[in-house]
Amino acid sequence: MNPILQTLAGRAGVHFMGQPNLDFQADGVARSVEIAQDAQPALVTTSNSGIPAFLSTYIDPKLIEVLVSPMKAAEILGSEIKKGDWTTETAMFPVVESTGETSSYGDYSENGMAGANTNFPQRQSYHYQVITQWGEKELARAGLAKIDWANRQNIASILTLNKYQNKTYFYGVSGIQNYGLLNDPALSAAITPYTKVAGGTTWPVATALEVLNDVQKLYTTLQSQAGGLVELDTKMTLAMSPAAEVALTKTTEFNVNVSDILKKNFPNLTVETAPEYSTTSGELVQLIVDEMEGQRTAEAAFTEKLRAHPIVVLSSAFKQKKSQGTWGCIIYRPAFIAQMLGV
């Protein structure tokens, strides 16, 4: 090939066909001209008409939280209270009962005596922990997606601790003297609802009157256990699952629903719900006296809430331990809690 044509092909990318396709005479000399080809005859790259997909992907800056079941034990019991600290292993709760007997009067009689009896029931604390850790590259990669990874780790650790704390308030801790609102051995046995006795029905298919009769039976049981100390206007909490609560919307033939009748008959009654009342044995309902003469019936108690230990700095990462401690649910007066199972 002509050196000039070779230069055009190498430097400018202009290529010429190898066979003459046009002959003519010029100055009496036969010449051949090869047609220049400006385009490549075949692609060197892969055929494509798009762009990388990530360039057209939108990442919403708002993070969508995955919800968890509510933690309602403290609300049902009224509050949480701190007892001791993270060094406390055992707690004693002195119980004093007045005793005495009378005797016929006589000027020289020495009969009749008053006294007191004391007990010291105990509870054991349980301490637990969770560890968060994050690396420098891990933080940077999450940052590309606008996610504050270290903060998300902290949020997860707090949620994990509080979920377990709530669980101990309901069930305590197995193997030690640490009990919950649903399984304390001092609780009276759950009674059977009228609806079960009558025909095997439950609240979802019961009438409004049947639901009311069951609540009245629960109150009568509580009143009997309390020895007459409970009255209609006593501050009480009716605790049940969200599934059972729907029955309180049932309406009587006089167009009055169950919840309205309860408010009228028990003016200081509060209804609270928690998923834990849906048990494997059926729907559980508890009627709890909030307090009597300044003493709460039961309390959710802890030794420590969210004790954050020092952050440990590694070569290119970090980690931190957080811990809490629980007494479970301390029931001071079990007689002020009545239960009904199978509604």
> What are the boundaries of each domain within the chain?
3-37, 73-95+117-341
Give yes or no for residue 47 having a pLDDT over 70: yes
Q: What is the pLDDT of residues 129-158, one digit of tens each?
A: 999 999 999 999 999 988 999 999 999 999
Structural tokens at position 168: 């101990």
252 residue type, one letter: T
- Confidence at residue 62, expressed as pLDDT on a 0 to 100 scale: 86
Contact, 334 vs 173, CB < 8 A? no
Q: By mean pLDDT, which of 11-20, 93-102, 145-154 is the weakest? A: 11-20
Contact, 95 vs 120, CB < 8 A? yes
Give yes or no for residue 171 having a pLDDT over 70: yes
- Confidence at residue 48, expressed as pLDDT on a 0 to 100 scale: 82
Instruction: Quickly list H helices, the chain.
Output: 3-7, 73-77, 136-144, 149-171, 194-199, 208-225, 242-245, 258-265
Mean pLDDT of 315-322: 97
Instruction: Using pLDDT thresholds of 50, 70 and 90, give the confidence band for residue 21.
Output: very low
Percent of the chain with pLDDT over 90: 74
73-95+117-341 CATH, one of 3.30.160, 3.90.1690, 3.30.1450, 1.10.1060? 3.90.1690
Contact, 115 vs 100, CB < 8 A? yes
Max Cα-Cα span within the chain = 168
Q: What is the pTM of this model?
A: 0.82
Q: Which residues have a Cβ under 8 Å from the Cβ of 342 and sit 6 or more positions away?
A: 192, 193, 196, 202, 281, 282, 283
- Confidence at residue 24, expressed as pLDDT on a 0 to 100 scale: 45
Closest by CA to 84, choosing from 339, 324, 271, 264, is: 324
Q: What is the pLDDT of residues 200-233, one digit of tens each?
A: 678 988 899 999 999 999 999 999 999 989 999 9
Closest by CA to 184, choosing from 2, 343, 336, is: 336
